[in-house]
């Protein structure tokens, strides 16, 4: 017997956070350290919600410490295969940066991309 978990997609007005999706690249520097480089990225409207309960503890057990779920409208540049672990999602108004852990096509319906992320903390003043 299969038990399907119903997906509650965002409703009208819930994609109310302007986020910037950026590619994250690490580069070696002259001081034998690593510089984190972020491209200019592109902006999209999103819903950001904390991961709680069973979903949070299930992720903890497999060492994928996702803290939030970001919902984006499925489309140009926001298909799951286009938002990978090489990306971060910045929410400038909340001064938060999130590292992408995984993204999926919610319900295989081509309506929303659901992105599980880990909160990295405040966006540095220099943007990097």
Banded model confidence at residue 56, pLDDT cuts 50, 70, 90: very low
Return contacts of 103-108, CB within 8 angstroms, 24+ apart: 104/80, 105/74, 105/79, 105/80, 106/7, 106/9, 106/71, 106/74, 107/7, 107/9
Model confidence over 60-109: pLDDT tens digits?
555 668 999 999 999 999 999 999 999 999 999 999 999 999 999 998 99
- What pLDDT score was predicted for residue 5? 55
Residue 12 belongs to some domain of the structure: no
> Please, what is the average pLDDT of the chain?
88
Weakest mean pLDDT among 12-21, 27-36, 69-78: 27-36
Q: What's the structural domain count of the chain?
A: 1
| Spatial separation of the C-alpha atoms in residues 124 and 62, rounded to whole Å | 29
Q: Residue 10 domain-assigned?
A: no
CATH number of the domain residue 27 falls in: 2.40.10.270
Pairing mode of beta strands 112-121, 34-38: unpaired
DSSP per position, 64-79: ----EEEEEESSTT-S
Query: Is 6 within the bounds of a domain?
Result: no
**What does the pLDDT average to over 34-49?**
95
Choice between 7 and 58, residue whose per-residue pLDDT is larger: 7
Q: How many residues does the chain have?
A: 128
Task: Indicate whether 3 belongs to any domain.
Answer: no
Range of the domain at 80: 17-121
5 assigned to some structural domain: no
């Amino acid at each position: 017997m299969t038990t399907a978990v119903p997906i509650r997609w965002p409703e009208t007005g819930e994609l109310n956070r302007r986020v910037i999706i950026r590619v994250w690249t690490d580069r070696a520097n002259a001081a034998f350290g690593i510089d984190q480089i972020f491209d200019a990225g592109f902006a999209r409207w999103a819903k950001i919600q904390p991961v709680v309960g069973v979903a949070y503890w299930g992720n903890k057990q497999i060492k994928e410490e996702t803290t939030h779920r970001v919902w984006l409208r499925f489309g140009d540049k926001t298909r799951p295969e286009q938002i990978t672990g090489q990306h971060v999602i910045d929410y400038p108004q909340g001064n938060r940066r999130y590292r992408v852990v995984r993204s999926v096509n919610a319900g295989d319906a081509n309506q929303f991309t659901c992105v599980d992320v880990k909160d990295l903390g405040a966006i540095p003043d220099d943007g990097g």
